[in-house]
Amino acid sequence: MIRALIFDFDGLILDTELPDFLSWQETFREYGGYLSLSAWATCIGTSEDAFDPLDFLEAQLGQPVDREAIRSKREQRKTELVEKQLILPGVERYVTDAKRLGLKLGLASTSSRDWVTGHLSRLGLTEHFDCIKCANDVRHVKPDPELYHAVLDALDVRPDEAIALEDSPNGILAAKRAGIFCVAVPNSLTQHLSLDQADLRLDSLADLPLRKLLREIQKSDR
């Protein structure tokens, strides 16, 4: 029996991933470089340590750049793009229906707590979550399952009693390593990546009501 729904944040609740990528692409173009999705994909849904865009830029240019100036300008541009984003389709309905059905709501994000809670508060979603675990709360982020284990423990549910909603390969891998049924819901960026390890793929949460998703999972368990 499903007792909990666990959301990713970046790219699943709010599309912060496309603004992140686009702001770096703009930076590369400004300096005469090029940033491909295949290069950037390694860091989607995991720690920023997985890929250093400034190392990549310097390697293309063959010379050092003013890292502090680039980071400051790029971060400002990312913020401008993120603040234009709306909650992704179906998210609010899933949150409302989960509460109505008596499900616990958790959130597992590789981003910092300040980043996640700041946006959740701005979007009016914070109060709905029973547990929020972020990069600050664990030693290892996705694709390691530690974040999911932390949420499961906090919600007091078993892996087979939860559903994970993820948008990236790293997030999906983390959920599956934790033994959780994972639904892939790609955004405009991650739809171009391989999400084959997910148990189910939806183009949008708006495509399948939560009640129907629960029925589908129950059927698959028989």
Is 8 among the residues known to form the active site?
A: yes
- CB-side neighbour CA atoms (13 Å) of 127: 3
Amino acid identity for residue 104 in this structure: K
Backbone dihedral region for residue 121 (phi beyond 0: left; psi -120 to 50: alpha; all else: beta): alpha
Is 10 among the residues known to form the active site?
A: yes
Q: Which of 200, 206, 204, 201 is nearest to 220 (CA)?
A: 200
Query: For residue 208, what is the DSSP state?
Result: S
What gap in Å lies between CA 108 and CA 155, rounded to an integer?
A: 12
With tokens 């509460």, the residue in question is 99
Residue 170 tokens read as 């790293």
Residue 191 tokens read as 């739809």
Q: Which of 10, 15, 144, 167 is catalytic?
A: 10
Task: Supply the residues annotated as catalytic.
Answer: 8, 10
